[in-house]
Amino acid sequence: MRGRKLGGLVAVLAVASGAVYFVSRPSRARETTALRTARLPASPHEIPVGKALPPLVLASDRGQSRALSSFQGAPTLLLFFRASSCPVCRAQLTAFAKEEARFTAAGLQVVAASPDPPPVLAALRGELGLTMSLLSDADEQGVNALCGGLSHCELLADAQGVVRWGAFAESWSHAPGPEALLAAVQPATLVAADQ
């Protein structure tokens, strides 16, 4: 009984601190990814923190359809950028691409989206040597729903596809870079009391 109370207290404290934790039974302790968004700047009110990614379907640079709501099973870093011709956007994508292996090792998938059509995104993939998923938000429904229409936007969604943090800056001069986001996403082995 005491274990149940302690487990409930841990869950309440985790929610109160703004952290998102995934808890497993003690007999099956597992490594999971915890989003520690309290380490990041507060999200602007335009970012729908606490809401699920919308069920919008975007085209990938590889010609496949992908619903934003399908990014479940692992936390997701979603980067919206203005265009493949934007020098600042290209620099930002290159910076995140250099750290993509570390994001993957931390259990996070990285996805980038812009209004560019799939063939332009495919060319961008080749030019920059990107391995992350690239999506075409052609009519900008995704950026409007998630970023208040500002095309330089970073979002963190948990493994259930719920937005937990976001930021935007028209010049990327104030948005956290890869290192800050990596510090907020860490593997953790969490064990709950008997349920």
State the CB neighbour count (10 A cutoff) for residue 191.
14
Closest CA to 111 of 56, 148, 149: 56
Strand, helix or coil for residue 145: helix
58 - beta bridge partners? 66
Closest listed residue to residue 60, CA positions, set 117, 143, 16, 19? 117
Rounded CA separation 111/117 (Å): 16
CA–CA gap between residue 178 and residue 149 (Å, rounded): 22
Single-letter residue type at 15: V
* 66: CB partners within 8 A, 6+ apart: 57, 58, 59, 60, 133, 135
**Any catalytic annotation for residue 89?**
yes
Among residues 86, 89, 147, 153, which one is catalytic?
89
Contact by Cβ (8 Å): 22, 190: yes
In the DSSP assignment, the letter for residue 39 is G
Instruction: State the catalytic residues.
Output: 89
